[in-house]
Structure 1
Amino acid sequence: MENLEHGHSQKEIKERLAQIPSQNYLRDWIYGGIDGVVTTFAIVSGVVGGQLSSLVILILGFANLLADGFSMAASNYLGTKSEVDQFQRYKTIEEKHIDFIPEGEKNEIKQIFQNKGLHGQALDQVVEEITANRALWIKTMLQEEYGLPATLRFPLKSALYTFSAFLLFGIIPLIPYVLVMNNSFIWSCFFTAITFFVIGSIKSHWSTKSWLYSGFETLIIGTVTASLSYGIGLFLHHLLT
């Protein structure tokens, strides 16, 4: 039998379902990492295409690394906080509705599970069980009526993951220029390509795609972006000189 992600004995199912769902910050990490590499290497490519000096690459590269990294982290913080605020708003609404019009909210639960195929005694039992537990009742309404997630991410953590990944991966295209390596741009291209592939491969652990496919997918997207930036820099150089 093919290896499965987890067991299905009664004990294993009970233990797994009893665990509190954890917040997933993969999106923030991938988002920050890829954008850090793309934007920094885009600057490197644009400056090289414009035939400017390595000093310009370092100045613009590190300025972008800090400013854009902070900007992305701040944006992600505000975006995640908006999700939390929305969740709290709808939770307050449902709490008020349950307090003042419980029968109406009970009917909503009934209709929700009718749409899932339950009828008769089974439906009545499910409705009674859910509405007997206020916390479960509110949670069910938030998920089923508004499509809200079961767990919320912390805005500050989201921002820190984004900023850390942006700095960690965004500095890689600049390493050959910091170390004053010969053929710095070629080495920067090589390091950046490897980074794109590694990020994509790591991302595959949380998707149905193979690590090879995911790695090359991310590499191609990053290469197209960098090539566009290099072309723009080269075009502007010839246009303005």
Structure 2
Amino acid sequence: MNQNNYSEHIREHQIEAIKRRLENFKTPQNISDAVLGSIDGCVTTFAIVSGAVGAGFPSSVALVLGFANLFADGFSMAVSNYESINAQQEFADGVRRTEDEHINKYPIGEREEIKQIFLEKGFKGEVLDEIIDTICKDKGLWVETMITEEYGIQKTKANPLKSAITTFLSFIFAGGIPLMPFLIPQLEMKEQFMLSTFLAGIMFFTVGMLKSFLFSKPMFISGMRTLLTGGTAAGLAFLTGYILQETFGIGGM
């Protein structure tokens, strides 16, 4: 470890730095909503564009289908994310009420559960007894410990509305990029599609790099994986449109 890395490592493990980092972990992060919305938006609209081009439809058809899908799917995805987070929170609240009731009615049994949880973590003897006493003195801490350790429910609460809005806006933004060239009537269909492909590729790679921050993966590799995923989906859409056009004569060009 060189001197610069060592100094940075020391700074990151100062008391105040650790406190700030732990507080940040407790704060709901919407980067996952942005990544999910961006990837799905770009893949979906570019796949529609690719399918329309492969089928031989004019650029106006690709544009109409792309924008119609962009707003409909973006809204649907945002609502689904909202409902999903709401359902998770309702489940967590239900579990919290159940544990609170169990602690009131069966404190001995719930105390034993705390003991077994920390026994599995390797605590024994006086240390284990001290942990149990500390947790069980505070009912709120007792309940939160049970729902975290027994049910795996995290303390961080996401804002359903904020997550839905983030998903929708990222979907619209990323999904709208591949459609921009089709708004330029001076370009030929092939030129529009080539430019759309280029812009979609940049978007896939950029979102993949953003995803690397979320999952702590190498930026280039994450970008290339997302680019490959989006490119494959678009390729399949183009191939499907082309086969249908050749087989059934579907198309308008």
What TM-score do you get using the length of structure 2 for normalisation?
0.91
Q: In structure 2, what is the Cα distance between the partners aligned to 1:19 and 1:228?
A: 41
Q: Equivalent of 1:193, from 198, 201, 211?
A: 201
Alignment of 1:113-132 (within 5 A): 113-132=118-137
- Provide the residue aligned with 1:204 in structure 2: 212
Q: Equivalent of 2:183, from 152, 161, 178?
A: 178
Q: Equivalent of 2:51, from 42, 46, 49?
A: 46
Alignment of 1:41-190 (within 5 A): 41-182=46-187, 183-190=191-198
Deviation of 1:16 after TM superposition, in Å, equals 4.5
Match of 2:230, as an amino acid? G
Deviation per residue, 1:54-92 (Å, 9 max, x gap): 110111111001111111111111111110011001001
Q: Residues 137 and 39 from structure 1, CA distance in 2 versus in 1: closer, same or farther, beyond 3 angstroms?
A: same
Q: Equivalent of 1:8, from 13, 18, 25?
A: 13
Deviation of 1:10 after TM superposition, in Å, equals 3.7
Q: Residues 160 and 118 from structure 1, CA distance in 2 versus in 1: closer, same or farther, beyond 3 angstroms?
A: same
Deviation of 1:20 after TM superposition, in Å, equals 7.5
Q: In structure 2, what is the Cα distance between the partners aligned to 1:137 and 1:66?
A: 45
Q: In structure 1, what is the Cα distance between the partners aligned to 2:33 and 2:22?
A: 26
Match of 2:106, as an amino acid? I
- Conservation of the 8 A alpha-carbon contact between 2:28 and 2:157: yes
Question: Helix, strand or coil for the counterpart of 2:96?
Answer: helix
Deviation per residue, 1:195-215 (Å, 9 max, x gap): 001111121122232111111
Q: In structure 2, what is the Cα distance between the partners aligned to 1:139 and 1:126?
A: 14
Match of 1:223, as an amino acid? G
Report the more deviating stretch, 11-20 or 146-155.
11-20
How well do the aligned residues superpose, as a CA RMSD in angstroms? 1.7
Question: Helix, strand or coil for the counterpart of 2:18?
Answer: helix
Match of 1:71, as an amino acid? S
- Conservation of the 8 A alpha-carbon contact between 2:209 and 2:220: yes
Q: In structure 1, what is the Cα distance between the partners aligned to 2:38 and 2:11?
A: 30
1:238 and 2:243 matched:
no
Deviation per residue, 1:92-150 (Å, 9 max, x gap): 10010111111111111011001111111100000000111111111100100001011
Deviation per residue, 1:200-232 (Å, 9 max, x gap): 112112223211111111000100000000000
Question: Helix, strand or coil for the counterpart of 1:13?
Answer: helix
- Provide the residue aligned with 1:229 in structure 2: 237
Q: In structure 1, what is the Cα distance between the partners aligned to 2:235 and 2:210?
A: 24
Deviation of 1:178 after TM superposition, in Å, equals 1.1
- Conservation of the 8 A alpha-carbon contact between 2:32 and 2:214: no
Q: In structure 1, what is the Cα distance between the partners aligned to 2:108 and 2:164?
A: 42
Q: Alignment identity in percent?
A: 41
Deviation of 1:180 after TM superposition, in Å, equals 2.6
- Flag as ranges the 4+ runs of structure 1 deviating above 6 A: none
For these two proteins, the number of residue pairs brought into alignment is 241
1:220 and 2:228 matched:
yes
Q: In structure 2, what is the Cα distance between the partners aligned to 1:199 and 1:56?
A: 27
